[in-house]
Structure 1
Amino acid sequence: MEKVVCIYHGNCTDGTTAAAVLLRKYKNCILFPLEHGYKKEKLEEILDAIDNNTTVFILDFSLREEDLLKVIQKSKQVINIDHHISAKETLEEISKKYGKFKFVFDNNRSGASLTWKYIFGGDPPWIVKFVEDQDIWRWKYGDKTKYVNLYLLPMTDKPAEVAKLFDQPVEEIIEKGKIIASFTDYLINRFVERAKETPVKIGNYTVKGYNTNYFQSEIGNILSNKHNQAVLLFSIQGTDVKMSFRSNEGNKPDALELAKILGGGGHKNAAGALVSLSEFFKMIQLKEEK
C-alpha cells in the first residue's frame, strides 16, 4: 500500500488548510509541519518516515535544496505545491533534472487553493477561499475574510480540525469570528499605539523591529504604512528568533529582500527568516550611552 507523507508550512493558516485538503484525499497521510529555518533533527525525523514506496507532498513550503534532494532520493515521488516566489527558480530547475519531482506553482493563489485545485479541481470550499483571500492579501470578501481566519487561528497546525469545516455552513463560522474580531482589533490597535521600535541591522540596512508573536501581518501592515518602509516583527523562541518582515509596494528594500539576506524567503511584501538568539543580539543597534 502506498504511503503518503505531507510536509506543510507550519504555524500558518494557509499551510494548515493545505494539509487539511490533503487529509480529505489521503486520510492516513503522515503530517509534518515545518517553518523556515527548521532544524536538522526535524528533517531527519521526516526522512525516517520515507521509503521508496512513499509519495511526499510539500505544501505551501519549500525545503532547502540539499534537503529536498535527500527527500527525492528516498521517496517514490515528490509533489511540491507552493506559491512563494522566493523558491520558484530553484524548484523549477530541480523539476527539470528529476523526473519524480513535480513542482506546481502559482503566485496568484494560496497554498491551500493550489492544493485543492491539484487534488480535486473545481470550486474549493468557502473556507479555502477565505484563507486564500487573507494569505495573498487580496481581501476580496472584506471583513468576512478576517472573521473566518480569526476563527481558524486556534486550529493552526491542526489540519484534521480544519478539514471538518469544509462541508459546514460558513455563516456560523463568520458570526463566531466576528465576536473574536472585536477583541483582536483592540489588541492590534493598542500594540500599534504603544509600539516601541528596536533598530536591527540586516545587511546594509537598519530596520525598525517590533517584538510581537501575534497578529504579525496585521501589525506589520499598519506599521509599514505608517513609516513607509519595510518593518520587522520578531519573537524569541527558545534559543532562536523568528523574524517576519512586512512591506508595501514601492518600499526599498522590500520584505523578501531582507529575508533573503538572512537565508529566509516568502513573498515580496511578506517574508520570514529564523536566526539564532546570539546572532540576533549582534544585529540590534544599541545607542551608545553618553
Structure 2
Amino acid sequence: MKKVKLFTHTDLDGVGCAIVCNHLLNNVEVEYCDYHNIDQKVLEFINNNRFKEYDLILVTDISVNKDLAEKINEIQSTSKWVLIDHHATAKWLNIYKWANVNDYYIKSPCEENLKTSATSMVYDHLIKFQNNACEELSEFVEKVRRYDTWEWSTKYNDTHAKKLNDLLYIIGRENFIKRFSTNPSIYFSDHELHILEIEKFKIKEYISTKEKQLRTLQVLDYCAGVVFADTYQSELGNELAQKNPNLDFIIIIDPGSLKVSYRGVKEKIDLGKDIAAKFGGGGHPRAAGSQINQRVIDSVLKLILN
C-alpha cells in the first residue's frame, strides 16, 4: 500500500484535492497550507528527511518558491514529487518535470476552452491510474471547478456550486471532508439545505453592514475600495465590486488571520498578477490573496488609519 503525503491549500479547491485523494488513493496524510507557510512546512518536511517515508508527495492548489523548487528538484530522483496548480502566477514552475501548472484546458478549435481548478487537475491526474471512476465524484469535482474559477456566476449561474463552498465554512473543514469523502454526492440533505438557507440570510445581512463601512483609496495607481471583514470574503468582494463600478477592485482585510483578499469584476486588471503578486501573494484575475506584510501596511493600512 502506497503511503501518500499531500500539501494543499485551505480553500474549497484545496479541500477538494484532499477529498479526491481520499477517494482515489489510500493512506493519505494531509497538511493544509497557506501562502505564508507553504514554503516553511515543505522545507521542514525535507530537512527532517520525512519525505523518505512516502511513496508519493503531492503539492496542490498552491506553489513553492524558487529556492524550494530547486531543492525538490535535487531530491526528485529519490522520491516521487508532483506539484499541481492552476494559478497563472505559478506557471514558471513548469520548467520542472514534476510540476504541472495550467490555468486552462485546451480543447479542440470548435470547443470552448475551460478554466482549470486544482481539484479537477488532481482528479484527471489520478483517474488515469484507476479502474473505478465514480460519477458522483466527477460531479463534485466539476462543482468545485465552477466555484473556484467563478464560472458558477459568470457562465452557468450555478448557485449549487456556491452553496457547496458555503457548506464548507458552515460545518468546518473536518466535517466537510468526512461528509464528501464518505459520500461524494453533490445533492444536499434536508438538514444541509436548512442550514444553507439560514446562512443565506446571514450573508445578506453581513454584506449590508459592511457596505456602509467601505472606504475608497488610491492603491498602486488604482482606485480601490477597502473594507475590514473576517468572513464571507468572496461574496462580499463580488457584491461590492458589482455595486461600485467606479472602483477598480475591492480589498478585504482580515486582521485576525493576517490575510488580504482582492476581488474584482473588471477585465482590464489581473488581480493575481497586477495586485496580489506585488504584495507577495497570487491567485486569479478576478480573485486573489496575500498575507498582511510590511508592504501592505505601508501601502494600505497606513492610508486607512490616517
Report how many residues are paired. 275
Matched residue, 1:27: 26
CA-CA distance at 1:233 after TM superposition: 1.3
Matched residue, 2:52: 51
Q: Which runs of 5+ in 2 are unaligned?
A: 105-114
Matched residue, 1:98: none
Matched residue, 1:262: 279
1:36-75 pair list within 5 angstroms:
36-38=35-37, 41-47=40-46, 48=48, 49-51=50-52, 54-75=55-76
Answer whether contact 1:255 1:270 (CA < 8 A) is retained. Answer: yes
Matched, 1:234 2:250: no
1:262-281 pair list within 5 angstroms:
262-276=279-293, 280-281=296-297
TM-score (norm 1): 0.82
Answer whether contact 1:17 1:163 (CA < 8 A) is retained. Answer: no
Matched residue, 2:111: none
Change (3 A) 1:204 1:17: same
Higher relative contact order (CA 8 A, sep 6+): 1
Matched residue, 1:246: 263
- Structure 1 CA distance for aligned equivalents of residues 142 and 2 of structure 2: 30
Matched, 1:105 2:102: yes
Identity of aligned residues (%): 20
Change (3 A) 1:72 1:146: same
Higher helix share: 2
- Structure 2 CA distance for aligned equivalents of residues 179 and 194 of structure 1: 24
- For each residue in 1:127-154, what CA deviation from the matched residue of structure 2 results, as whole angstroms up to 9, or x when unmatched? 2222222111112362222333322333
CA-CA distance at 1:242 after TM superposition: 0.4
CA-CA distance at 1:181 after TM superposition: 3.0
TM-score (norm 2): 0.78
Matched residue, 1:181: 196
Q: Which runs of 5+ in 1 are unaligned?
A: 96-100
CA-CA distance at 1:32 after TM superposition: 1.6
- Structure 1 CA distance for aligned equivalents of residues 271 and 142 of structure 2: 27
CA-CA distance at 1:204 after TM superposition: 3.9
Answer whether contact 1:23 1:160 (CA < 8 A) is retained. Answer: no
Matched, 1:78 2:81: yes
Q: Which amino acid aligns with 1:120?
A: I
Aligned residue among 93, 96, 110 for 2:95: 93
- Structure 2 CA distance for aligned equivalents of residues 161 and 59 of structure 1: 21
What SS does structure 2 have at the residue aligned with 1:115?
A: helix
Aligned residue among 210, 223, 233 for 2:240: 223
CA-CA distance at 1:198 after TM superposition: 4.6
Aligned residue among 203, 210, 225 for 1:208: 225
- Structure 2 CA distance for aligned equivalents of residues 72 and 52 of structure 1: 18
CA-CA distance at 1:41 after TM superposition: 4.2
Answer whether contact 1:20 1:162 (CA < 8 A) is retained. Answer: yes
